[in-house]
Amino acid sequence: MEGARCLVECWADFGDLLSAKVICHGSGVILSTGTEHVLVFSGQERRVKTVLQFDSPVTSLALSADQCSLYALCENHLLYSTTLSSESSSFSSEQCDEPALSMVSSDSVLVKDVLSFTVTEDILITVSLQDSFWTFHRYDLPHCSARSPVFHTHAGLQLPAVIGVFQNDVGSQVRMSSTPTMTCIYPNSSAKAHACKRHARLDPLLFRLLFGVDASLINSAVILSGLPDGRLVFFPLLLPALTSSRGEQKTPIRIFFSIEQPVVFIGTAVIEDQGPQCLVVIGQRGRILLIKANPRSSDGKAADCRFIEHMVQGPVVCACVDGDHLYYSTATNLFSLSLSKTVTNSSSSSSSITAVTEGDSIRPESPVCLNVCRVIALTEPSISPAGNVQLQAVSLSGRLLQVTLPQDPYKANVSRLASAQAGQKIKDLLAGIGNVWERATVEKQQLELKNNTLKRLNHVLNICHLLLTCQKKDPEVCDQQPTISCQGAAKWSSLLQKDSLVLTCILENHSSCALDEGWNLCLQVDSNISVSAGGSSRTYSFALMKLDCGEKTEVTLPLDSDGDLFLPVQIHCSLVYSLQSYLNSEDYKQLSTSEPSLSQLLTRPDCIRLALNTLTLDWLDALRIGEPTPNGDHIPKQISIWQATRKFMSSRQVYTGEPEIPKATTHTVAIHISSELLRNRLSSHDCSSAGLCISVLKWLLCETSKTEGPEVVQSPVVCAKGPDGQAVRLLIKEVILSDFRFKGLLSVVEVQVESVSVAAVCGLHHAILRRVQALLKNASVKPGTPAELRGERLCEAVRHMERIYKDLQDFRDPADGVMKKRSTSDSLFHLYLQLREKPLVIL
């Protein structure tokens, strides 16, 4: 196959495309990229001046006769009409380099359910598929200056659709193939044909032979349509419907040929010097139909038409005709075919159908490869000032190209070298270009990969810098609110009739950096008490997809494993970033040696760990306040398992010699806190005693975790269930101490805990003391001077503590310091209660 050297100039690059449509508009083009946007491109400025946005991807474009209106058909089968204003485009270009965006509203819809259309003069022709019939409608368009888009609609012409053998659904058959192709053909003798140069013209003799005498006499244009099934149908534009001898109205639409494949292009060509004497039809699979008129011969033979079929390699994506040359693209290469030589060769052939293969380069009708790849859209050919043919093309890679062809593409590629030498040289050049392209592609991919890796690592180091700066606790550098923090709340859930305590942690990002993919939230749950008394630790990891600035994410984890729950527990929150996808072992060694400051972050060879904060969960956080006890504010006397077993055996008259264990009684501990300290710390506006007690109770229940308990606290008494299922009661009251200091009375708040469970009393007592310790660290209240306190009260408290300490020493063996094996648990708990009977006042 021959080849031609073309001058290809890239005007713009719009990225990879799946489909495109392009039409000429002055010195520029109007381009549809298969999306909702239509681009008005200026050829002089080489940039997009206006962007028209539709409601659906655009599939076809057309201009009005005066080129002031643009008609666009979208995938939703709606035909839009919008006005192209050159003044607005030039004004926008003077203001800035950005293109002007114009939204095309639904008010611009002209016709619905349209598959294809064409515009000629002030007439719009549409085709649609309705009830297995192809329906053609004609509309008289208003003038460009008219304000209202009202236009007159004529009656539609119908043609039955052909149903394939293997396809019973006509609509599916159309969707699987291409849409109908329509063009308007004028007789060359018509004045309107010369006025409207964008439409095809045909020799009057061939026009009369193909479309009839009636259309030829009144110089009426003909709408020629190629259906997806390959049929070529036509109907005159101006003639009304005909009437038969029986009075029946006949439709003027007629079928005159079928190429048995979807039609891609319909146009006319100039084979000789007498004007357009050939009708050209191109199919999607490479079949070309040429129709030429044979004039009346000297021996009296009447004039007739000659149908010539020619095959080229398909599929044909787009095509156009200039003179006697056909330019078509197979999406792989752009080809040029001489139609005059094709007709001449078919005249000498015995058969009217000629086939051309890819390797056949001797036959004169073989197409010429123009060496322009991946073209999916072409405009009408134009002539440059130098006399060369120019084509505006759009490639599959999204480039808008201007292809300039030599004056004679068949003579321009004549080489001075021998055919074998020229072929080998071209192969070597192509091989060298291919190798360079492959190396350049690999280098570009590696460079992009490294740039992306560096960007992500820089983002990670920025987050590390923010967290490390805030951990310095410098008030001038770090804000009061942490940039990234984790808060927790404990809740009870019931699953399969089993109550379990779960922790909900909320990670909040208040920093200016987003936590992208690769970050993990790690929660390490540590308990100092376990079954083996050695402590336990569990770690949970949650992958973060993306956490933008100001967003938060929520994770949930169980706290009781295998039915064991030991409080208090500490939850250490940290962020971990994995480096496995970026750094190998050698890169890690080089990074750790070159950046010593990162050694504290690289706790493992494959990750970066950043500590956030630590949450503590105790008995107060695990109370079930929403489940009141059946006896109201009273603690029920619960019977132990041993007592229940003993009663059962007694009922069966089975007696044991073991001594009876004392019945379970309610245990009480109390803590005294200065009322002045609590009022200042809690900023209580209610001066009453009841208001202060309720505020203290709410503070105890919501200090560390935001549970639902404080919402139901309406009194200074709360009854709830502990983690062990035993009932507990918290009582807050304000008391007056008269013997504590010399000057005046001392008002204190007494926090009292009651329960029959020893574990519940001790756990709640420890939780309250932990909150009071945190209160004292941040307290701004000045404590009373030692002169104000009564020494007798302090001496009595010291003597009380000494007696308790002496009793405690009696329980120890002086030999080895090990507790005696007698019933020391009850005695020790009795000492604990004595220690709590007269608690010290926390000032």
Q: How confident is the model at residue 409 (pLDDT cuts 50, 70, 90)?
A: very low
Q: How confident is the model at residue 22 (pLDDT cuts 50, 70, 90)?
A: very high
What would the mean pLDDT of 207-224 be, rounded to a whole number? 85
- Give the pLDDT confidence of 58-116 residue by residue, as tens digits: 999 998 887 888 999 999 999 999 988 654 444 344 445 788 888 998 888 988 989 99
More confident residue, 294 or 40: 40
More confident residue, 483 or 497: 483
Q: Name the pTM for this structure.
A: 0.49
Q: What is the pLDDT of residue 712?
A: 62
520: β partners:
543, 576
Q: Flag whether pLDDT at 777 surpasses 90.
A: no
Is 202 in contact with 268 (CB distance < 8 Å)?
A: yes
Q: At what angle do helices 824-837 and 758-777 cross, to 10 degrees?
A: 40
Q: What is the pLDDT of residue 176?
A: 41
- Give the pLDDT confidence of 281-337 residue by residue, as tens digits: 999 999 999 998 887 765 656 778 888 888 998 899 999 998 888 999 998 899 999
More confident residue, 447 or 563: 447
More confident residue, 162 or 173: 162
CA–CA gap between residue 365 and residue 338 (Å, rounded): 6
Q: Flag whether pLDDT at 586 surpasses 90.
A: no
Q: Flag whether pLDDT at 2 surpasses 60.
A: no
Q: Flag whether pLDDT at 769 surpasses 80.
A: yes
Q: Flag whether pLDDT at 793 surpasses 80.
A: no
The top-scoring range by mean pLDDT among 124-138, 206-220, 823-837 is: 124-138
More confident residue, 406 or 593: 406
CA–CA gap between residue 618 and residue 760 (Å, rounded): 11
Q: Flag whether pLDDT at 817 surpasses 60.
A: no
Q: Flag whether pLDDT at 619 surpasses 70.
A: yes
Which phi and psi angles does 607 have, rounded to 5°? -155, 160
- Give the pLDDT confidence of 512-523 residue by residue, as tens digits: 888 888 889 999
What would the mean pLDDT of 38-50 be, rounded to a whole number? 89
The DSSP result for 448-509, as a single string, is HHHHHHHHHHHHHHHHHHHHHHHHTT-TTTS-SS-SEEEEEEEEEEEETTEEEEEEEEEEEE
CA–CA gap between residue 538 and residue 58 (Å, rounded): 58
Q: What is the pLDDT of residue 749?
A: 87
Closest Cα to residue 79, out of 26, 45, 35, 124? 124
Q: What is the mean pLDDT of the chain?
A: 76
Q: Flag whether pLDDT at 661 surpasses 60.
A: no
Is 520 in contact with 576 (CB distance < 8 Å)?
A: yes
Residues recorded for the chain: 843
Domains and CATH numbers, the chain: 484-617 (2.60.40), 641-785 (no CATH)
Q: What is the pLDDT of residue 645?
A: 59
Q: How confident is the model at residue 511 (pLDDT cuts 50, 70, 90)?
A: confident
CA–CA gap between residue 608 and residue 461 (Å, rounded): 10
- Give the pLDDT confidence of 462-492 residue by residue, as tens digits: 888 888 877 766 544 444 567 888 888 888 8
Q: How confident is the model at residue 270 (pLDDT cuts 50, 70, 90)?
A: confident
Q: What is the pLDDT of residue 363?
A: 43
Which phi and psi angles does 294 have, rounded to 5°? -100, 115
Task: Spell out the alpha helix ranges (H) of 44-132.
Answer: 86-95
Q: Flag whether pLDDT at 813 surpasses 80.
A: no
What would the mean pLDDT of 331-352 be, rounded to a whole number? 73
Q: How confident is the model at residue 272 (pLDDT cuts 50, 70, 90)?
A: confident
- Give the pLDDT confidence of 229-241 residue by residue, as tens digits: 899 999 988 765 5
CA–CA gap between residue 290 and residue 280 (Å, rounded): 5
**Cα→Cα distances 497→153, 500, 501, 622, 782, Å:** 73, 10, 13, 18, 52
Peptide bond into 568 cis (omega under 30): yes
Percent pLDDT > 70 in the chain is 67
